[in-house]
């Protein structure tokens, strides 16, 4: 999949960026075309070889009509947390690496539920914050809304998820 200059893209685990240039660059002594991205959340610059863009998960923004599905995942009350934190962390890390917003929404929902029951490990807290940021920032870009407005909607969806767990979230 090719991207154009000025197009907004998602770089997994970094967030929404914009393609600033597409240029030729020497990598390992060989000439390659590369995307120069500027990550919007922190203004950092990332170089991604065009030939590796699919492998690293570079993708277009989620389509507007798919955002409702993200909110359905956030509020459905269905959890799939592993019993121990190490297993849960590995499971969630794999979902985060996928870069798919529905997977990241599942991570956020599960960690939000776990956080309400007991404190998260340092690494899980970082993952929770990263998942939250990735969801809020991308949905805000897709819908042209301020991030604080989207943040409120995400929090409402997570609250609805918790309220749909009549068993306190102990069964799947």
pLDDT digits over 33-51, tens only? 999 999 998 999 999 999 9
DSSP for 68-91 reads: HHHHHHHHS------SSHHHHHHH
How many Å separate Cα 21 from the centre of its chain?
24
User: Please, which residues have CB within 8 angstroms of residue 78's CB and are 6 or more apart in sequence?
Assistant: 172
The string of pLDDT tens digits covering residues 126-141 is 999 999 999 999 999 9
Instruction: Report pLDDT digits (tens) over 73-117.
Output: 999 877 776 667 788 888 899 999 888 899 999 999 999 988 888
1 within some domain = no
Q: Domain range holding 106? A: 64-163
Question: What are residue 4's phi and psi, to 5 degrees?
Answer: -110, 160
Shared domain check, 88 and 13: no
Average pLDDT estimate for 20-40:
91
Q: Note whether 74 and 86 are same-domain residues.
A: yes
Sign of the four-CA dihedral 64, 70, 71, 72: positive
**Mean pLDDT (whole number) for 4-9:** 96
Is residue 42 situated within a structural domain? Answer: yes
Confidence (pTM): 0.86
């Amino acid at each position: 999949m090719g991207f154009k200059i000025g197009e907004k893209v998602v770089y997994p685990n970094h967030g929404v960026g914009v393609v600033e240039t597409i240029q030729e660059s020497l990598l390992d002594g060989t000439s390659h075309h590369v995307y120069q991205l500027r990550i919007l959340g922190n203004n950092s610059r990332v170089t991604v070889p065009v030939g590796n863009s699919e492998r690293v998960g570079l993708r277009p923004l989620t389509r507007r009509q798919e955002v409702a599905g993200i909110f359905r995942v956030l509020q459905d009350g269905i959890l799939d947390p592993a019993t121990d934190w190490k297993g849960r962390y590995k499971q969630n890390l794999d979902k985060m690496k996928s870069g798919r917003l529905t997977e990241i929404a599942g991570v956020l929902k599960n960690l939000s539920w776990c956080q309400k029951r007991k404190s998260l490990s340092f690494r899980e807290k970082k993952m929770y914050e990263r998942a939250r940021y990735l969801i809020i920032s991308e949905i805000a870009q897709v819908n042209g809304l301020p991030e604080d407005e989207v943040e409120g909607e995400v929090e409402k969806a997570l609250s609805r998820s918790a309220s749909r767990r009549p068993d306190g979230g102990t069964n799947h």
